[in-house]
Amino acid sequence: MPASTGPTSPRLDDLSLQQLAEFFPGPSWIAAREGTCVFVNDEWRRHTGCMVSEMRELEILDWVHYEDRERVTEELVQARGREHEARFECRLRSADSEPHWFDMRLLPLRDARGHVKAWFGSCTDIQAARTAVALRAASEAQEAQLRALVSNMSEGLIVADAQGHLIDWNPAALKIHGFAATDDMRRHVSTFTRNFIVRTLEGTIVPFENWPIPRLLRGEEVRDLEVQLERLDRPQSFIMIYNGSLLRNADGSPSMVLLTIHEVTERRRKDAQIARLNAELEARVLERTLELRAANAELESFAYAVSHELRAPLRAMNGFGNALLEDCAPGLDETARGYIANILAASLSMGALVDGLLQLSRNTRGNLERQECDLSALAESVLADLARAEPLRAVKCSIEPGLRVLGDPRLIEGVLRNLLGNAWKYTARTAEPVIHFHTSQLEGQACFVVEDNGSGFALEHADKLFRPFQRLHRQDEFPGIGIGLATVQRIIHRHGGWIQARAYVGKGAQFYFTLSPTKSGDGGRS
Amino acid sequence: MKSKSILLVEDNPNDETLTLRALAKVNLANAVDVARDGQQALDYLFAEGEFVGRRGAPAPSVVMLDLNLPRIDGLDVLRRMRADERTRLIPVVMLTSSDEQRDRLRSYESGANSFVRKPLDFGEFAETVARLGLYWFATNDPP
């Protein structure tokens, strides 16, 4: 490249200088004494992508990376001012836009009298070296991390060579096997037969050839191998889980063996304890169940015996009362007949109570056999029965179709019979009675509801509603014995549900209930 | 010889009186013999013990048997009746206050011909007993 023809540019020396600059393996340039550029080599152009042809217009600093410009400017100024060498690292702009670090040197070229007549600038590519340094630092950091991991992990790690000599291990491996941190394990794995006996979990001795490392060396798989380890020199035993892999060379021959050890002695002991506790618990549960069954059986026979015993004298009362009325009629006046009628009624009443008690005790016994029940159909049939018994009553009934629930059909029918029966009864004096059975919500929970527009009751007495034999109406208003709702509640609770009543005197009642323990209730349509 | 008797096996004296009264209403009281426990019932049927004198007498047209009896209970009486040639075919009506399903089933399984609950209400009771008596004694054709 021809030198620029500036007034201060040297001549013959320039040509050699140019050749030298061109020859230099990295980007280089020649500048005049005061600093203006007179030549840049091909490498400079190639690297920076500089295409300026008029040297006058070429400013070296323009081609330095903008972040380094300030610093380089300072260096150049210093060097030129003091007329001596400079050396520093900086980046040049590069054509491929990857920042590239160079070791930049500035050399003042002096004439025979020692005056600076030109400057030679050279750039040696140090990017690779830098990258290498960074990579090595990263690799060292990674190695340190790995080392820390291996040292701190609670699982033991052992490395053995293809012959079975232990070549490396982590602190955990030593500790797990009961060795001190300072013990040297750099020996053949077979030497450990003098330290340990290995047994299967059932107690059979595992011979050396079936120890993990020998097996791995033979190419066998060692995965979750759980064994007991007994130390021979002291009374210590452990339960270990071994996992290992065999690393092979490129030609397939074994290169080394990696083994991890998980010590589970304590955990297995706890497992055994839990199993034992569970077994004890099972035994206790069984005991209790048998006791409960026995108690239930006793209760059952008691209820049976009692109701049977109670019925006999009631039959006598009723029978002889009637016999009196029939056979002794002439001797009986109005009053006498009235008294006898009362006796008869009382006996019937007591009979109903006895039946009710028996029913109540029955409902708490036995397993709950859950089946699919069509509630809508059950309700229809119950209401049909009620209508048949009192055909003259015109009650408007509406039942939501498709109501299904999982429960004991017999018991659930009892529930509906009670609730609908009550609704039927307490609307006896209502002008246009309506009974409604449908799904609803109470306090955010889905449920069923039986509601009527009958006589209702005062809500403050509602807590008495579900107690056996409690009545909220006078006997002459609505005859009955008041046991129904206690039974209903029992049945509902056995299904895991709840029942609540809402009512207003003179405005009817609503009985909300569910038949399963889920929070959202089972008030579902089919 | 056609039998002209009904055997009532009943331990409760009140129930006995009331049952007889009911049967009296349909003129069957005279045909009724009463045993007051299971053993007595069997002695009667097999003409043993205090009833040795009944040898050769015709079997009753029907036995009205209460389930709960002292000494030998109703179910056992029934089974023994069914196990013996002499009494195997005699119609038996279980008359009891129990409404337990298993009592009903066991009675039928042991060979009862009929199972009737003794209702509390006397009117109903009397009617039931009377109908039973008339049916088995008069209407039904014995084996």
Give the amino acid at A335. T
Which is nearest to A188 in space by CA: A155, A224, A153, A214? Answer: A214
A351, pLDDT greater than 90: no
Chain B stretch 14-43, residues whose beta carbon is closer than 8 A to a beta carbon of chain A: 14-15, 17-18, 21
Which 3 state secondary structure label does DSSP give A462?
helix
Q: Which of A58-62, A250-254, A426-430, B134-138 has the largest mean confidence?
A: A250-254
**Which of A275-279, A386-390, B98-102 reaches the highest mean pLDDT?**
A275-279
Which residues in chain A touch residue B121, judged by CB atoms under 8 angstroms apart? Answer: 318, 348
**A37-49: pLDDT as tens digits:** 888 899 998 888 8
Residue A59: its H or E element: none
Measuring CA to CA, which residue among A165, A149, A158 is closest to residue A260? A158
pLDDT digits (tens, 9 = 90+) for A409-425: 878 888 888 899 889 98
Given a contact cutoff of 8 angstroms between Cβ atoms, the answer to whether B33 and B60 are in contact is yes
Other beta carbons within 10 Å of A406:
15
Largest CA distance in chain A: 171
DSSP per residue, A186-202: -SBGGGGGGTEEEE-TT
Residue B59, min C-alpha distance to chain A (Å): 29
Q: Residues B7-32: what's their mean pLDDT? A: 89
Contact by Cβ (8 Å): B33, B140: no
Mean pLDDT of all residues in A327-348: 87
Instruction: Determine the distance in angstroms separating the CA of A314 from the nearest CA of chain B, rounded to an integer.
Output: 7
ipTM: 0.78
Among A311, A319, A322, whose Cβ lies nearest the Cβ of B97? Answer: A311
Mean pLDDT value of segment A243-256 = 93
CB A109 within 8 A of CB A17: yes
Q: Nearest-CA distance from B1 to chain A in Å? A: 36
The pLDDT tens digits for A473-502 are 655 555 554 557 887 888 888 888 999 998
* Three-state secondary-structure class, residue A439: strand
Does the pLDDT at position A525 exceed 50? no
Q: Which residue does chain A place closest to B103, by CA atoms?
A: A304
CB contact under 8 A, A318 and B122: yes
Phi, psi of A59 (to 5 degrees): -115, 120
Sole residue written with tokens 């000599």: A165
Closest by Cβ to B98, choosing from A308, A319, A322: A308
Question: Minimal Cα distance from A354: which residue of B?
Answer: B120
pLDDT of res. B68: 86
Six token digits for residue A4: 């620029």
Backbone φ and ψ for A349, nearest 5 degrees, come out as -60, -50
Q: How confident is the model at residue A206 (pLDDT cuts 50, 70, 90)?
A: very high
